[in-house]
Amino acid sequence: MPPRIVGIDLGTTNSLVAFMNGEKPEIITDPGSGAPLLPSAISRLEEGSFIVGDVARQRARLHPKSSVLSVKRFMGLGKEHIDADDRAQYRFAEGEGPLRIVLDDDSETALTPPEISSLILRELRRRAEQVLGEEVPRAVITVPAYFNDSQRQATRDAGRLAGLEVLRLVNEPTAAALAYGLDKQEEAVVAVFDLGGGTFDVSILQLREGLSEVLSTGGDTRLGGDDFDRAIVAHFQRQLRLGDAASAATFALMLAAAEEAKRTLSAQDDARVELPLEGGTKIASISRAQFEEATIGLVERTLDRCKQALSDADRSVSDIDHVILVGGATRTPIVRAAVERFFRRTPLAGIDPDNVVALGAAVQAGILSGGTRDMLLLDVVPLSLGIETMGEVFTRLIDRNTTIPAAAREQFTTAVDNQTHVDVHVLQGERELAKDCRSLARFRIPIPPQIAGLPRVELTFLIDANGILSVSARDERTNTEHSIEVKPSYGLTDGTIEDMLEESFDLAEEDFTARLLIEARVEAETLLHTTERALEGHPDRVTDEERTKLVETADVLRAACAGDDHNAIRDQIDVVNEAGRPLAERIMDDSIRAALATRSVDELTD
């Protein structure tokens, strides 16, 4: 049996690891304490070693300068992204190179965010290996849906540093949907409401035939369950007329009491807590109604983001088939009720909202190890992707069987003078001619009219981990850019892929012959056109003899193009090229001389 693959939720506040126990995903708890969550905290001890998890979080209270609490915020960021708030919390290494957090005032110890995250991953890996009793070399790690390429790469790097092969990064909302088994449905639109300790994310997903596409994401990186606790503290301060200038120690005590009160309110209508303050212990109380009043603003903010995400996804509340609750703070009944009112349906909350993402990652890991679910799994690009080029041939940018995510970039130019736009026709398939491939999308990019061959249009193909292809075209001269997103797998089944492959094998010879002929003709036409233009533009730079020879050989080439022997065309192209060489060389000399004439001798000797 190949080594097991685990699923990891590398969270801002807490991280978890899970595995497939038979058909069911299961969280791997800490073998010592039995705790499922590993606080995403690290701290550097004076002698130089690191501690991770709860002990690190405890130590951070006394040694904030040698601890990092939510490194995920810095993953994949550069120095230019660091703001004043961040600088107030951490010291960053000066000088060149990647962003590094200084962990000890006295030493030069500074770690990059991936290095810090790798300490957390290493601990999760250790946990898994101890519980499973085997090596755990491979993992699926979840990332927020809004993570960009460099944030995703930073996460992969962290995995690699922890000695893990990261087989796949899965979007957190997608993982939550997998945990609920929603991928088994044919088609569904899902809203994932993720209120963690310090961050809020909402995502709208489209699930279709086992594939998940993120339609939109929204959220607030400075809004989380901790804000609810702080709102309760503010209530206590008002109630006990304490004023809001508490010492750090008192505030920490009140926060702990607030958290306790919040938990009590999940089950009861009233909560009473003891506050061991400096002037003696005081009793504070809060009712559910008061809690609601204190936090209504926070709840409203989350719902505003939901509204925005829906509108970005071009969906309305009635389109949503399922709502999933993620994150410990969604246990709060008022949050749950607000979500239910907003989406007009009971949210899915059967799975512990703290565990759901990690469990989903384990489900994805199970799929990758081929054990559990049968679905069209796009580990690789099933059919080549490319564009239509001159002569209606298919030019591949990403080959079949390339592992995803994948990217390709290539420059293209025009074949006709004074084109005012370039049509980008995105195709998929294995045949050689555009008409035999699947058309995925078409768009047009305007360019300033120029001689054929001069414009430079850069095409970028990018397939993300969800199999979404984005194609962008940029005119290098004007920097105009157009792009589209398509789902190449849409409407594809294993059967159609099989048929398309078979067809490409059966017709390979015809296809290549047709393509060779078309391309030879295109090249011949380009050459004929250039030759004519050169003869017209520089009539005095060619001898009569050369002109006659050029015209004659060009006529033979034209005749060859009418036939269907690509080798005959290619041979004649060589003949015309040879006949035109003296003229081409003179034109080249002229233009070099013209260029040099405008320069001073000084410049040349430089």
Partner 1 sequence: MAARGITLSDTAVARIRSLVPDGAPEERGLRVKVVGGGCSGLSYKMDLDEKRQGDRVFERDGARIIIDRKSYLYLNGTELDYADDLMQSGFNLQNPNVKRSCGCGASFGV
Query: Taking CB under 8 A as the rule, does residue 551 contact partner 1?
Result: no
- Report the Cα 63 to chain-centroid distance in Å: 35
Query: Taking CB under 8 A as the rule, does residue 512 contact partner 1?
Result: yes
Stretch that binds partner 1, among 118-126, 137-145, 186-194, 562-570 (CB under 8 A): 562-570
Which one of 123, 157, 183, 194 is the catalytic residue?
194
Taking the complex as a whole, the smallest distance from the CB of residue 513 to partner 1 amounts, in Å, to 9
Number of residues that bind partner 1 (CB under 8 A): 22
* Burial class for 35, CB neighbours closer than 10 Å (0-12, 13-18, 19+): middle
Q: List strands edge to edge, sheet with 187-195.
A: 211-220, 200-208, 187-195, 322-326
Residue of 15, 70, 216, 504 interacting with partner 1 (CB under 8 A): 504
- For partner 1, the closer of residues 393 and 579 by Cβ is 393
Residue of 252, 567, 592, 596 interacting with partner 1 (CB under 8 A): 567
Site string for partner 1, 357-396 (x = CB under 8 A): ------------------------------------xxxx
Taking the complex as a whole, the smallest distance from the CB of residue 409 to partner 1 amounts, in Å, to 16
Q: How many Å apart are CA 488 and CA 428, to the nearest integer?
A: 8
CA-based nearest residue to 543, from 603, 595, 583: 583
- Considering only residues 287-316, where is the footprint of partner 1 by CB under 8 A? none
- For partner 1, the closer of residues 411 and 418 by Cβ is 411
Taking the complex as a whole, the smallest distance from the CB of residue 509 to partner 1 amounts, in Å, to 6
Instruction: Tell me whether residue 194 is one of the annotated catalytic residues.
Output: yes
Taking the complex as a whole, the smallest distance from the CB of residue 474 to partner 1 amounts, in Å, to 21
Which one of 9, 183, 213, 226 is the catalytic residue?
9
Which one of 30, 123, 157, 172 is the catalytic residue?
172
Query: Taking CB under 8 A as the rule, does residue 516 contact partner 1?
Result: yes
Which one of 72, 157, 226, 388 is the catalytic residue?
72
Query: Taking CB under 8 A as the rule, does residue 401 contact partner 1?
Result: yes
Instruction: Tell me whether residue 79 is one of the annotated catalytic residues.
Output: no
Residue of 252, 314, 505, 564 interacting with partner 1 (CB under 8 A): 505
Instruction: Name the maximum alpha-carbon separation found in the chain.
Output: 112
Instruction: Tell me whether residue 565 is one of the annotated catalytic residues.
Output: no
CA dist list (Å): 73 to 17, 98, 147, 151, 164: 20, 15, 11, 10, 21
Is the backbone peptide bond immediately before 446 cis, with ω within 30 degrees of 0? no
- For partner 1, the closer of residues 323 and 518 by Cβ is 518
Helix, coil or strand: residue 408: strand
Residue of 112, 138, 519, 534 interacting with partner 1 (CB under 8 A): 519
Instruction: Tell me whether residue 399 is one of the annotated catalytic residues.
Output: no
Stretch that binds partner 1, among 14-22, 293-301, 501-509, 530-538 (CB under 8 A): 501-509
Q: How many Å apart are CA 201 and CA 15, to the nearest integer?
A: 16
First to last CA, the chain: 68
Q: How many Å apart are CA 504 and CA 99, to the nearest integer?
A: 49
CA dist list (Å): 530 to 30, 389, 460, 526, 527: 73, 20, 29, 6, 5
φ, ψ at 35 (rounded to 5°): -75, 135
Q: With contact defined as beta carbons under 8 Å apart, do 590 and 541 qualify?
A: yes
Per-residue exposure over 323-344, b if at least 16 CB sit within 10 Å of its own CB, e if not: bbbbbbbbbbebbbebbeebbe
Residue ranges binding partner 1 (CB under 8 A): 393-396, 399, 401, 430, 432, 501, 504-505, 508-509, 512, 515-516, 519-520, 566-567, 570-571
Residues assigned a catalytic role: 9, 72, 172, 194
